[in-house]
Structure 1
Amino acid sequence: MTEAPVALATTNWAGNHTYRATQLHRPGSLAELQETIANARQVRVLGSRHSFTAIGDSAELVSLEAMTSERVEVSGDRRTVTVDAGLRYGELATALQREGLALHNLASLPHISIAGAVATATHGSGVGNGNLATAVAGLELVTSGGELVRSARGDADFEGLVVGLGALGAVTRVTLDVEPAFDVQQRVFERLAWESLYANLDEVLAWGYSVSLFTLLGADVDMVWVKSRTDVPGAAAGDLFGAVEATAERHPLPGIDPAPTTAQLGSPGLWSDRLPHFRMGFTPSNGNEIQSEYLVPLSSAVQALEELRSLGDRIRPLLQICEVRTIAADQLWMSTAYGEPALGLHFTWLPAQAEVEELLVELEARLLPLGARPHWGKLFLADAATLAPRYPRHADFRALVDRLDSRGAFGNDWLSRHVLDDVG
């Protein structure tokens, strides 16, 4: 096993959080990982660092890079694959292409690690598509005692283990549901009137397999990105309730060169080359930003959007873009779509931490009363006492943490403040 100063990963991807860890472990085998974790006082796994808070920080960090390969184990019925948890989705997609297989969905960025995305309930879009964690059929993790725990869908506590927030152990392997590879075509529509959106909300959100709205919360919705499977009958070509189809490719952020984005203009391509907004070989999104996201019950969609529009003058000076998308309901205990479909309100902010946090006070005052659940990997302010009642299985999750990490090795201040210390 090799070890290195944590200066190799001083900050997160956005640069708005500096890790406090002084040691970075690089185990080369499962046995080395088990020994490292069992001997660490406090430890977390360092993934792709695409979080915007201290959720992944600790006194010691562990990188699984030396234990991660692109090897894919395909089940006999070709319905699942088992892979190393540190693999990134773009890398997994390449491996699945060789097998003629696909995941049901992908997030906006293919650069994120599987374990990190699953642990925080990260998602793509689509009224019929669960978040990325819903594809998990099995996993293995190393607990703070160094024990290896394996669990599969249907086992006791499995639905609590999947969206584990890194609090239960170091996930090393995951088994994911797959299906035969499919093609997707992507079209962008511009200038959708708010009134048309509200009057046809269900139809707009279901216009394709995956639909994202991009807006600066101005006079109209700037763009609607529609990703449609070519093997499923889709909406007819033409305008979208008054929004006109773009005649050139677009970047989600106005005025940015679209070169990093996945192909548009209705050109069909592999699922992995269309479902993300950005291509693997480019800097994701803008690269100089902070992100927040709140997931509200889909039944409160119009009210939530109206709350945002009423704050538009306060939001716009700090906003690069707001993305709106849907996530199907699931039964994973700490998932932001637990029990009901959700509308994701995603904010790409300018890199101005203090100003953004000040704005979030106002934003959460509007959205939390609607039942909003913040994305676990993005910047938010709400504490555990506020959030716990939004998760009916929260007490069960805390009990699972106490059982698998009785010595608190995977705990940190962020988890205490926002997840575990819910007694107000």
Structure 2
Amino acid sequence: MPRRNWAGNVRYAAREFHRPDTIDDLRRLVAGSTRLRAVGSGHSFNRLGDTDGDLVSLAGLPPTIEVDRERGQVTVAGAMRYGDVGQHLHTQGYALANLASLPHISVAGAVATATHGSGQTHGNLATAVAALEIVTADGDLLHVDRDDDTFAGIVVGLGALGVVTRLTLDVVPTFDLRQYVRLDLAPEALDEALGSAYSVSVFTDWRTPRLREVWRKQSTDQSPPEADWLGTTAADEPRHPVLGMPTENCTPQLGVPGPWHERLPHFKLGFTPSSGDELQSEYHVPRTSVAEVLAALAEVAHLIAPVLQVCELRTVAADELWLSPNYRRDSLAVHFTWVDDADAVLPVLAEVEERLAPFAPRPHWGKVFVTDPRALAARYPRYADFEALLADLDPKGKFRTDLLDHYFPR
């Protein structure tokens, strides 16, 4: 098993690494452990997934996918990658409504941290969950669905409530998309651009006031953007979000039609999206504050740019999941891919958080952030309810980590 996370900035402190190949073996392992965490694709950039006890990968469990055509749902093993699930669903005539930029991430891990794609009418990946199966602290197998009172608290569970083994997701009929990249967007046009297609991502490096690229993933029955769309120009060759990185790693652009699972992600499943020499942070702020947020960040652009690889702006629809950054708030997600230098990045991150503070930013749980615990708790109306759920399902703190203790003290 890997001893570091995907980016290499976290060396796991676990004393033992496990890869059970049956649910029963997993249940015995959980029941017999005093400290345990599950690890998926290792794409968290902080120590949320770290432990000084047992670290367990579910990659050895059977990679099951079961489509229920009558209910319009699919049940998948938690360790499966979204890219693999997408390929299978497409062959069956189905799709997920949304995908993240990386198809390499595991379903259970992405759901647990409310990881998301883009689209102002689309919720994050956790909103597709209709039911899940979880191994609790005593080794029991718990099934919860939308009829359970605590369901909305368990779905985005941060790995703190147990080990999620299977998830049931809502599906829709499969569909095709075209991806167009537009260049040089004026900041005042950002709000309109974000709502212009099925999924939209805007990239900037904060070195100039204008926004470098707009990636529009639009339905095949939507007309291509006009030549002078919002004052931009069309890219005449494939692009990578990070300048200088190989474009063959990216999903097809230039308006070439293709299935949803090969267009919604920015990167192809068969390629490593980047070297991993990076840190990432992300903050979710009200969708209605786009112009004000841009202006606030522009005040510290001179600090951001020297330690930044790229910044991505996306939208995510509101939901009812207790610890989702999009809880009851349509959101603008401001994502930073930093250079791999924590000493240089963290002081800038503190400045970014200070500028965003008036907008009550909610950080992505799996990224790097320095938010004060009391400030963070105040931004989630159901924070105390989640704390109670923690005490109920894991009274001895088997699944806790230092980061969880920092933000949910016992």
Q: TM-score, normalised by structure 2?
A: 0.97
Looking at structure 1, the residues matched to 218 and 274 of structure 2 have their Cα atoms a distance apart, in angstroms, of 22
Structure 1 segments, 4+ long, off by >4 Å, are: none
| Partner in structure 2 of residue 61 of structure 1 | 55
Q: Is the 8 A contact 1:328 1:342 kept in 2?
A: yes
Matched, 1:134 2:127: yes
| Partner in structure 2 of residue 226 of structure 1 | 216
- In structure 2, the gaps of 5 or more residues are none
Q: Secondary structure at the match of 2:374?
A: helix
Compute the RMSD of aligned alpha carbons. Answer: 1.3
| Partner in structure 1 of residue 171 of structure 2 | 178
1:224-254 Cα offsets, whole Å, 9 max, x none, are 00000225x4565333210111111111112
| Partner in structure 2 of residue 34 of structure 1 | 27
| Partner in structure 1 of residue 321 of structure 2 | 332
Q: Is the 8 A contact 1:27 1:67 kept in 2?
A: yes
Matched, 1:289 2:278: yes
Q: Secondary structure at the match of 2:111?
A: helix
| Partner in structure 1 of residue 101 of structure 2 | 108
Q: Secondary structure at the match of 1:55?
A: helix
Q: Is the 8 A contact 2:188 2:291 kept in 1?
A: no
Q: Secondary structure at the match of 1:280?
A: coil
Q: CA deviation at 1:256?
A: 2.5
Match of 1:253 among 222, 239, 242: 242
Decide which moves more: 87-96 or 132-141. Answer: 87-96
1:299-352 Cα offsets, whole Å, 9 max, x none, are 222111111111111111100000000000000000000011010000001100
Q: CA deviation at 1:74?
A: 1.1
Q: CA deviation at 1:78?
A: 5.3
| Partner in structure 1 of residue 182 of structure 2 | 189
Q: Is the 8 A contact 2:310 2:337 kept in 1?
A: yes
Q: CA deviation at 1:209?
A: 0.3
Amino acid in the other structure paired with 2:57: S
Q: CA deviation at 1:98?
A: 2.1
Q: What is the correspondence of 1:74-89 to structure 2 with a 5 Å cutoff?
A: 74-77=67-70, 79-89=72-82
Q: Is the 8 A contact 2:8 2:276 kept in 1?
A: no
Matched, 1:271 2:260: yes
Match of 2:409 among 374, 397, 421: 421
- In structure 1, the gaps of 5 or more residues are 1-7
Looking at structure 1, the residues matched to 3 and 27 of structure 2 have their Cα atoms a distance apart, in angstroms, of 24
Looking at structure 2, the residues matched to 393 and 235 of structure 1 have their Cα atoms a distance apart, in angstroms, of 42
Q: Is the 8 A contact 1:207 1:234 kept in 2?
A: no
Q: Is the 8 A contact 2:157 2:323 kept in 1?
A: yes
Provide the identity percentage.
Answer: 49
Looking at structure 1, the residues matched to 62 and 80 of structure 2 have their Cα atoms a distance apart, in angstroms, of 6
Looking at structure 2, the residues matched to 68 and 18 of structure 1 have their Cα atoms a distance apart, in angstroms, of 27
Q: Is the 8 A contact 1:385 1:421 kept in 2?
A: no
Decide which moves more: 18-27 or 328-337. Answer: 18-27
Looking at structure 2, the residues matched to 132 and 234 of structure 1 have their Cα atoms a distance apart, in angstroms, of 27
Amino acid in the other structure paired with 2:211: V
Amino acid in the other structure paired with 1:24: F
Q: Secondary structure at the match of 1:259?
A: helix
Tell me the number of residue pairs that the alignment of Structure 1 and Structure 2 aligns: 408
